[in-house]
Amino acid sequence: MRTPKRLLLPLLCVFVLVGALAAPAGAGRPDAKNMSLESFDPNPDFITSDIAFWGDRAFVGNYGGVRSYDISDPANPVRLADFECFGPQNDPSVWDTDGNGQADLLVQSVDLTLEGPECGSPQSRHPDGTRHDEDPDGWEGIRLFDISDPASPVFLDAIYLDCGSHTNTLYPDLARNRLVVLNSSYPLRAGPTCGFSHDGTDMTQNLTNPFDSDPGSPADPFHGVVQTVIIPLEGNAADSAAAAFEGPQLPINYPGDPDNVFDPAEHGLAGFGKLRACHDIAVYLPDNLVAGACAEQSQMWRIGADGLPDTENPVWVFDERQIDFHHSATFTWDGKVVNFIDESFGSGCPTVTPGVGQTGRMYFVDAASGKKYSEFRLHRSQAPEHVDYCSAHLGSNVVAADGKYLLVNAWYTGGVDVIDFTNPRKPREVAYYDVDGDEWSAYWYEQSGSDVTGPLNIFATHGVEHVASGDPVLVSHARGFESFLADVAADRVGLDHLNPQVQEVRIP
Q: Which pLDDT tens digit goes with each residue over 416-449? A: 999 999 999 999 999 999 998 899 999 999 998 8
pLDDT exceeds 80 at position 56: yes
Give yes or no for a contact between 153 and 81, defined as CB atoms under 8 angstroms apart.
yes
pLDDT digits (tens, 9 = 90+) for 393-405: 987 899 999 899 9
- The CA R_g of the chain, rounded to the nearest whole Å, is 21
Q: Which residues are bridge partners to 16 per DSSP?
A: 40
Distance of alpha carbon 96 from alpha carbon 499, whole angstroms: 12
Between residues 430 and 380, which one has the greater pLDDT? 430
Q: In this predicted structure, what is the pLDDT of residue 18?
A: 43
Q: Please say whether the beta carbons of 182 and 201 come within 8 A.
A: no
Per-residue pLDDT tens over the stretch 279-308: 999 999 999 999 999 999 999 999 999 999
| pLDDT, position 450 | 73
pLDDT at 390 over 80: yes
Query: Is the predicted pLDDT of residue 20 greater than 60, yes or no?
Result: no
What end-to-end distance do the CA atoms of the chain give, in Å?
A: 30
State the Cα–Cα distance between residues 370 and 340, nearest whole angstrom: 11
User: Residue ranges per domain, the chain?
Assistant: 16-503
pLDDT greater at residue 64 or residue 28: 64
Q: How confident is the model at residue 225 (pLDDT cuts 50, 70, 90)?
A: very high
What pTM does this model have?
Answer: 0.94
Continuous segment of H or E residues that includes residue 473: helix 472-475
pLDDT at 413: 87
Maximum Cα–Cα distance for the chain, whole Å?
Answer: 62
In the chain, % of residues over pLDDT 90:
73
Residue-wise pLDDT for 453-492, tens only, equals 899 999 999 999 889 888 888 898 899 999 999 999 999 9
CATH topology of domain 16-503: Methylamine Dehydrogenase; Chain H (2.130.10)
Strand spans (E) along 196-265: 225-232, 245-251
Q: What is the mean predicted confidence (pLDDT) over 361-365?
A: 97
Query: What integer best gives the mean pLDDT of the chain?
Result: 90
